[in-house]
Amino acid sequence: MDLVAFAHRVQSASPRPVVGQVLRVTGGLIHARIDGAALGESCRVILPDSELLAEVVGFEGAIVWLAPIGSMQGLLPGCLVYRTGSALQVPVGACLLGQVLDGFGRPLNGEVLPDCEERPCADAPPSALFRHRVTEPVATGLRVIDGLLTCGKGQRVGIFGEAGGGKSTLLGQLVRGTSVDVVVVALVGERGREVRDFLEHQMDPQTRNRTVLVVATSDRPPLERVRAAMTATTIAEWFRDQGQHVLLVVDSMTRHARALREVGLAAGEVPGRGGFPPSVMAELPRLLERAGPGDERKGPGMITAFYTILVEGEGDPVAEEMRSILDGHIILSPRLAASGQYPAIDVLASRSRLMSVVATPEHCEKASRLRALLHRYEDVRFLVEVGEYKPGSDAEADEALAKIEEIRKFLKQGERDVMPFSSVVTWLNQIV
């Protein structure tokens, strides 16, 4: 060993003063005595054989509650804690394209990222006064969405459905078919086996090269599952600030909310409706408002976002909160899925709040007419099935029955089938 070089390194090193130590672990949180630690600040906990990164999520006097980022295996009372003096930073930039990252922006394959910028994981949304207006349609390649639930560049849409209702398949179609510059996908709380399935089955090589995938599987600590959606949003914001159109997909916001609940309850918050503490309902709009149109002073960038929500019966507080914040909702129907219609979107229950803004009046009129025919068919479907309907008694019902097979053909689409927006509108005109 070169002792001269070693002595030089020791002399030039910045000392890291010990500012605290671990007292106990309760409910997945580390309780430590630390002076001056700020909420959201990152700290390093020194284990016997390694280091553990943790984040300040609460405090009571000099006792600070730390949510660990990683496994606490080997943690002992009295372990030393160092403050970093800053909040969590995540890498951003074009260097991330094609990468698969964990909830904190670190490559899952263990490779070292090339030089990237860093940004705080928690950031403020663009100013409401300077955001672009949503005025242009975005082509998703899906007939049922482009034709009847037309979305705009910068719109935020929720996909609501039960477990196993076809959300993953629909997301794969959106990722492959939507006309955007960059795709950022967050898989929050997913099964481990589904990550590789999504990479190899839902994305082709061309899509993979323009995609950043952020993954926090169900076995990861709750803070990492919380940060996955925030990290994906931060990465999408960087591309938006470069003037690009970004597709942001988060699957699912329900698991994100559950992870927030775990952290909140462990920190001593009082549970409210559905067991969710008040902080969860405060955090959801903070995250969702970061997506959407960008600041016009920074360029023309947009984030078009799709969020999946697992609906857990009537009165689901997370589903109700998401529905009230987002710019539209797509409802997946178990009945349609069971009948083999994919995507299994219940058109009559779904809405795009911005369709009247981004689609032409003629397009909106034709979409409204098809909805009316579909609604009339549902009214008389039972009578037809039991043989009680008499043709000629209702002109609109007769038209709906005559066109229902063509409507079903329009609504049903193969997993790898992508249709241009103009062709969708043309077909819609031919039907109605």
pLDDT per residue as tens digits for the range 265-307: 888 888 888 889 999 999 999 999 999 999 999 889 999 999 9
Q: How far apart are CA 78 and CA 18, in angstroms?
A: 12
- Per-residue pLDDT tens for 132-186? 999 999 999 999 999 999 999 999 999 999 877 788 889 999 999 999 999 999 9
pLDDT value, residue 6 = 61
Q: Name the residue among 326, 11, 298 with its Cα closest to residue 152.
A: 326
Q: Where a domain ends, among 355, 371, 402?
A: 355
Is residue 72 very low, low, confident or very high in pLDDT (cuts 50, 70, 90)?
confident
Residue 5 scores a pLDDT above 70: no
We report the CATH number of the domain holding residue 70 as: 2.40.10.170
And the tokens for 373? Answer: 């025919």
pTM attached to this predicted model: 0.90
Cβ atoms < 10 Å from Cβ of 272? 15
pLDDT value, residue 177 = 93
Q: Hunting for tokens 């929050």 — which residue is that? A: 188
**Mean pLDDT of all residues belonging to the chain:** 90
Strand partners for 214? 101, 186
User: Could you please report the per-residue DSSP string of 272-325?
Assistant: -GGG--HHHHHHHHHHHTTSEE-BTTS-S-EEEEEEEEE--STT-HHHHHHHHH
State how many domains the chain has.
3
- Looking at the fold, whether 193 and 299 belong to one and the same domain comes out as yes
Cβ atoms < 10 Å from Cβ of 306? 28
**Burial per residue of 82-119, b for 16 or more beta-carbon CB atoms within 10 angstroms, e otherwise:** bbeeeebbbbbbeebbebbbbbbbbeeeeeeeeebeeb
Domain containing 33 equals 14-87
Residue at 49 is within a domain: yes
Lowest mean pLDDT among 108-117, 319-328, 346-355, 364-373: 108-117
pLDDT value, residue 294 = 94
- Per-residue pLDDT tens for 338-354? 888 889 999 999 999 99
- Looking at the fold, whether 191 and 117 belong to one and the same domain comes out as yes
- Looking at the fold, whether 45 and 105 belong to one and the same domain comes out as no
Residue 374 scores a pLDDT above 90: yes
- Looking at the fold, whether 103 and 240 belong to one and the same domain comes out as yes
Percent of the chain with pLDDT over 90: 62
- Looking at the fold, whether 126 and 81 belong to one and the same domain comes out as no
Q: Where a domain ends, among 355, 372, 402?
A: 355
Residue 229 scores a pLDDT above 70: yes
Judge contact between 25 and 72, C-beta under 8 A. Answer: yes
Q: How far apart are CA 188 and CA 294, in angstroms?
A: 24
Strand segments, DSSP code E, in 7-152 are 20-26, 29-34, 41-46, 51-60, 63-69, 80-87, 89-92, 100-101, 117-120
- Looking at the fold, whether 232 and 337 belong to one and the same domain comes out as yes
pLDDT value, residue 8 = 56
And the tokens for 33? Answer: 């005595």
pLDDT value, residue 9 = 57
For residue 279, is the peptide bond before it cis, meaning its omega torsion is within 30 degrees of 0?
no
Is residue 3 very low, low, confident or very high in pLDDT (cuts 50, 70, 90)?
low
User: Could you please report the per-residue DSSP string of 167-215?
Assistant: HHHHHHHHHHHS--SEEEEEEES--HHHHHHIIIII--HHHHHTEEEEE
Residue at 5 is within a domain: no
Q: How far apart are CA 40 and CA 429, in angstroms?
A: 54
Across the range 309-327, mean pLDDT stands at: 91
Looking at residue 353, its amino acid is: R
Q: Where a domain ends, among 87, 112, 130?
A: 87
pLDDT value, residue 387 = 82
Residue 313 scores a pLDDT above 60: yes
Q: Higher confidence at residue 111 or residue 46?
A: 46
